[in-house]
Amino acid sequence: MGLIGCGTVGSGVLEILHRRGDDLARLLSRPLRVTRIVVRDPARPRHHLAGLLSTGVELSADPQRVTRAPGIDLVVEVAGGTEGPRQWMLDAFRHGRDVVTANKATLATHGAELFAAAREQGRCIFYEASVAAAIPIVEMLQNGLVANQMTRISAILNGTCNYILTRMELDGMEYPQALAEAQAKGFAEADPTLDISGGDSAHKLALLAGIVMRSHVPVEKIYTEGLGNITRDDIQFAAQFNCRIKMLALAKRNEHGAWELRVHPTLIQRDEILAQVRDEFNAIHLKGDAAGPMLAYGKGAGALPTASSVVADIVRAAKGERGLFNSHAGTLPEIIPTEKVELRHYVRMAVLDVPGVLGRITSFFGLRHISISSIHQPEAHMGHPVPIVLVTHKTQDKVVTDALRDLENAKLLLRAPTRIRIEE
């Protein structure tokens, strides 16, 4: 096989293939060998590869040495980026090679083209490592739960967001401080935009939902909202409602077969199992019509956890597993726009504590027939800023959006309100 990319994950793959090599060779009745590695700069000294290179492994800067030059059966793409991997994968399929990839962004963006190309050429894409690193959730949905009509996925798919929310809750940090710590500990990228915007979770949800819907799910179909507005105050108010805030990726099927697809900060009950997931861990809660509820929990990032799934895919390919060629050939079911979804909402507003302000605020909700289930306003000093927190009964998303826009236009609030959706 040939490796494209030899950064953190690629090095992890080589490490596992080295230390588990004997066991895997026994299981497969033949050794697994990396014979070519493609890197950006082959001239750069790579001490950790010295052993491999001395056994005749070829290092080059030319991806075609792996995707089309003779002598390679499997292309392992762990390079990152989007356009490059897209072209390498297409080239690999055209040249009769299967592909293992950890690249969620490429699959979520170009999945329709890539899955179709693989199908036409009779090739396979193995992508276990692209969602929730070590957790074999792709396999669970493709194989273990294949006999089910799945009706729900609710998942913590981004370790950075979960780490930040955990620090904010347990250590009372504000968001910028928690983000800085996540970066210092290597859980967040130097540019964390894709993580905290919810974009990374949306990429992963698109891949999981695609398996369940038997169709490519364009990432644009997923309503996505980032973490940036959540404050320590929200986390403390959530605790008063016996809730935690988690960055959830949700796919929910209604009885007519239409789906909601959303990624956003979410209030969930503290005794729910997803609420127990701390730090950089990932977890996926599933519901199937035969299997019932199910949860998988584990490390969602890191060199070895990701490489664990890449090597699992390499073994699958070596065993000759062919996947299900029609797994993405279906039509996309109806996607329900999030503005039409009915949920309970948490709303936090900052106002000046002047007589009658609470009544004026609630009247904006009443005008739109939004029923309020509880309201909290801490003791404050007349004329000073005070937070007001309310929780609505089930209300259509757009109606809450409209009420909040009216409130902002009326200049009653000191700053933009924070709205967090509640999942039961």
**For binding to a copy of itself (CB under 8 A), which residues are involved?**
12, 16, 20, 23-24, 26-29, 128, 134-136, 139-140, 143-149, 214, 273, 276, 288-299, 302, 304-305, 307-309, 311-312, 315-316, 319-327, 329-330
204 is a catalytic site residue: yes
User: Judged by CB, which is closer to a copy of itself: 4, or 317?
Assistant: 317
Q: Are 413 and 258 in contact (CB under 8 A)?
A: no
Residue corresponding to tokens 């065993």: 319
Instruction: Find how far residue 73's CA is from the centre of its chain.
Output: 30
Q: Which is the catalytic residue, given 204, 246, 287, 299?
A: 204
Which two structure tokens, joined as six digits, stand for 205?
């949800």
Q: With 0-12 CB in 10 A as exposed, 13-18 as middle and 19+ as buried, what is 37?
A: buried
**Helix/strand/coil percent split, the chain, to 5:** 40, 25, 35
The nearest distance, CB 216 to a copy of itself, in angstroms, is 15
User: Coil, helix or strand for 3?
Assistant: strand
Q: Looking at residue 333, what DSSP letter applies?
A: P
User: Judged by CB, which is closer to a copy of itself: 9, or 245?
Assistant: 9
Nearest partner of 402 among 325, 355, 345, judged by Cα: 345
Q: Find residue 101's DSSP bridge partners.
A: 77
Q: Are 283 and 295 in contact (CB under 8 A)?
A: yes
Q: Looking at residue 415, what DSSP letter applies?
A: S
DSSP letter string over 214-273?
TB---GGGSEE--STT--HHHHHHHHHTTEEEEEEEEEEE-TTS-EEEEEEEEEEETTSG
User: Judged by CB, which is closer to a copy of itself: 226, or 302?
Assistant: 302
Nearest partner of 420 among 385, 396, 391, 399, judged by Cα: 391
User: Judged by CB, which is closer to a copy of itself: 309, or 395?
Assistant: 309
The nearest distance, CB 237 to a copy of itself, in angstroms, is 23
User: Judged by CB, which is closer to a copy of itself: 63, or 136?
Assistant: 136
Please tell me the distance from the alpha carbon of residue 160 to that of residue 133, in angstroms, as a whole number.
13
User: Judged by CB, which is closer to a copy of itself: 258, or 329?
Assistant: 329
The nearest distance, CB 64 to a copy of itself, in angstroms, is 28
Q: Are 230 and 420 in contact (CB under 8 A)?
A: yes
User: Coil, helix or strand for 79?
Assistant: coil
The nearest distance, CB 414 to a copy of itself, in angstroms, is 39
Please tell me the distance from the alpha carbon of residue 220 to that of residue 1, in angstroms, as a whole number.
34
- Residues marked active site are found at 204
